[in-house]
Amino acid sequence: MSKLRILCATKRVLDYALKPRVNKANTGIDLTGQKQSMNPFCEIGIEEAIRIREKHKDRVEDVLAVSAGPPKSQDTLRTAMAMGADRGTLVEISENDTLEPLTVAKILKAVAEGEKSNIIFLGKQSIDDDCNQTGQMLAGLLGWSQATCASEVKIDGDKVTVTREVDGGTEVLETELPIVITTDLRLNQPRFASLPNIMKAKKKPLEKKKLADFGIEISQRFKTLKVVEPPVRKGGDKVENVDAMVAKLKELKVL
């Protein structure tokens, strides 16, 4: 029975509660001065790693949180460590660079190989670019099994059983370590970091790396030509009662 070395990928994104605003130049979302937090699906990944440790105490050797992004992404790693990750690795890029899922997958592959990870958690998607790609790409590059949109993970020896959410219900997959798992919302309810744990997290090791350390270059396949607000729906017409509602729906030819 192999020891478990868990890697959790985390991304810093615009806080989910904030309404994104398109910038004046129509080139992207205005993030200046806006609160940024850990992508909610990544939090679920960390939480699941911590729960695995609580359940398989002697087997888990290490829970490592990794983030790739500008220097500020270390805040996200500290949050992960406050939740219970042992240490963090920040793969730093400049504020002006953008990482695409394929590059992130290559970075994570390099980190996972260096760390001899055998379980990798990622969120199923980040709530900014909504791509839903990185985990699958990483599994493909590593040649590992993948289980995306997981709502339940069971580890029994080297056997891993994952329930995943699919169109119309759920399905259950069985595989062996190593595995890449991406988290769905229903996998768990992430814990809040307590104040003492936030203090302790400040002392946990955080290693900083550059893309060059892994021999990876920023490769940008996509060029964003423009970003616009979606067409505004003209709504807001209220009716007095059920009869008026039925009449209006008939008038709109949907009844």
Partner 1 sequence: MFKRTCLAGLRQSQRLSTLRHSNALSTLAIIEHQNGTVQPATLTAITAATKLGGSIHALLAGSGTKELADKVAKIAGVEKVLFVDNAAYDRGLPESWAPMLVENVRKGGYTHVLCAHSAFGKNMLPRAAALLDVMQVSDIVGIEGEDTFTRPIYAGNAIATIQTSDKIKLVTVRGTAYDPAETEGGSGTVEAASDPEAASSTTWKSEALSKSERPELSGAARIVSGGRGVKDKENFDKLIIPLADALGAAVGASRAAVDSGYADNSLQVGQTGKVVAPELYIAVGISGAIQHLAGMKDSKVIGAINKDGDAPIFQIADVGLVADLFNAVPELTKKVQA
Q: Which long-range contacts (CB under 8 A, 24 or more apart) does 93-98 make?
A: 93/68, 93/69, 93/211, 93/218, 94/70, 95/70, 95/71, 97/70, 97/218, 98/218, 98/220
* Burial 51-85, CB ≥16 within 10 A → b, else e: ebbeeeeeebebbbbbbbbbeebbebbbbbbbbbb
| Cα–Cα distance measured from residue 21 to residue 26, given in angstroms and rounded to the nearest whole number | 10
Of the two residues 166 and 199, which places its CB atom closer to partner 1 in the complex? 166
Amino acid letter at 244? A
Helix 134-142 vs helix 101-115: crossing angle, to nearest 10: 50
The residues that bridge with 13 in the sheet, in sequence order, are 37
Helix or strand holding residue 180 (H, E) = strand 179-183
Amino acid, res. 178: P
Q: What is the CA radius of gyration of the chain?
A: 21
